[in-house]
Amino acid sequence: MSITKPHLGPSALTILVHQPFGYNVMEKNFRIALKHVLEHEGGFVNHPADPGGATNKGVTLATYRGWIGRNVGENDLRNIPENHVKAIYRENYWNKIKGDDLPSGVDYCVFDFAVNSGPKRAAQFLQRVVNVDDDGVIGPQTLAAVNKITPVSLIVNLNKRRLDWLQGLRTWRTFGRGWTNRVKDQESKALVMAGGSTDAVSPEPRPPSRPPRPDRSNAVDAGIGVAGAGGAAAISQQSITIAIILLVVTAGIIVGRRYFGRQK
């Protein structure tokens, strides 16, 4: 059975009746951003370590129930229509982070963060990057500050802070690799949308470094081989011992010749 939302809100009706200048560009960015987000969200999952519970295409069961206005089940979530998915993402995430008002690339960067960790948190991190009050609500002050910074710089800085925060979560061991891949992929695509170079991608978190292994690449050239300095020290000590023995033997021969010479 097809599940439809009871009514269209005023904002939806306005969009249908009147498309303001630049609407096509904004709608295009939303479609591109949603496509990229869904590539990472995947299909139906119900991972025991995921606090969101049952999820399909990134939409949790709780989110779907709140949007549809009634107590739907997991089977309804498994078969969620595409138009419901699109509407939920636009209303619950894109509109809340003012995606239509953010620069290209920055819109997708913040949108992906909002889907993954909540619109308020994504907004707060963006506000910290542009140095305004982090109340979690993107308004005129935040947008004005955003427009004073280059999109490439915003994208790289925001993703670095996002990864630093993710690494501190208790579920990092379980989801860390997937989160890192998601952020790196999002950053590359956001930079392309912003017209920047993917060379600006922030460095990937690295595990603690191990002590460096001894470099034996020049051992043969140095005439030392794998014995290294220890072998050279042993050879030097042996040479000294032989020299001392030869000196003692020579001294004995000289003393003996003088002794026998006097006897004659």
Give the pLDDT confidence of 128-150 residue by residue, as tens digits.
999 999 999 999 999 999 999 99
The DSSP call for residue 235 is H
Return the pLDDT at 90: 97
Who has greater pLDDT, 46 or 111?
111
For residues 26-36, average pLDDT: 93
Who has greater pLDDT, 5 or 197?
197
Tell me the average pLDDT of the chain: 78
Who has greater pLDDT, 151 or 42?
151
Return the pLDDT at 180: 96
Residue among 140, 34, 142 nearest 92 (CA): 34
Q: Give the separation between CA 6 and CA 9, rounded to whole angstroms.
A: 10
For residues 201-210, average pLDDT: 46
For residues 235-263, average pLDDT: 64
Who has greater pLDDT, 11 or 79?
79
Q: Give the separation between CA 65 and CA 96, rounded to whole angstroms.
A: 19
Task: For the chain, give the number of residues.
Answer: 264
Report the share of the chain in percent with pLDDT over 90.
59
Who has greater pLDDT, 225 or 142?
142
89 has pLDDT over 80: yes
Cβ distance 95 to 26 under 8 Å? no
Return the pLDDT at 38: 96
26 Cβ neighbours under 8 A, 6+ residues apart: 99, 100
The residue behind tokens 């033997």 is 249
User: Poorest-confidence range of 19-28, 37-46, 70-79?
Assistant: 19-28
Q: Which homologous superfamily is 10-200 in?
A: Chitosanase, subunit A, domain 1 (1.20.141.10)
Cβ distance 92 to 71 under 8 Å? no
Residue among 136, 91, 89, 127 nearest 106 (CA): 127
Q: Give the separation between CA 196 and CA 150, rounded to whole angstroms.
A: 10
Who has greater pLDDT, 14 or 251?
251
The residue behind tokens 């011992």 is 241
Return the pLDDT at 50: 75
42 has pLDDT over 90: no
Give the largest Cα separation in the chain, rounded.
137
Return the pLDDT at 198: 54
Q: What pairs with residue 44 in β-bridges?
A: 56
Q: Give the separation between CA 192 and CA 186, rounded to whole angstroms.
A: 10
Who has greater pLDDT, 20 or 231?
20
Return the pLDDT at 99: 97
> Using 50, 70 and 90 to split pLDDT, how confident is the model at 173?
very high
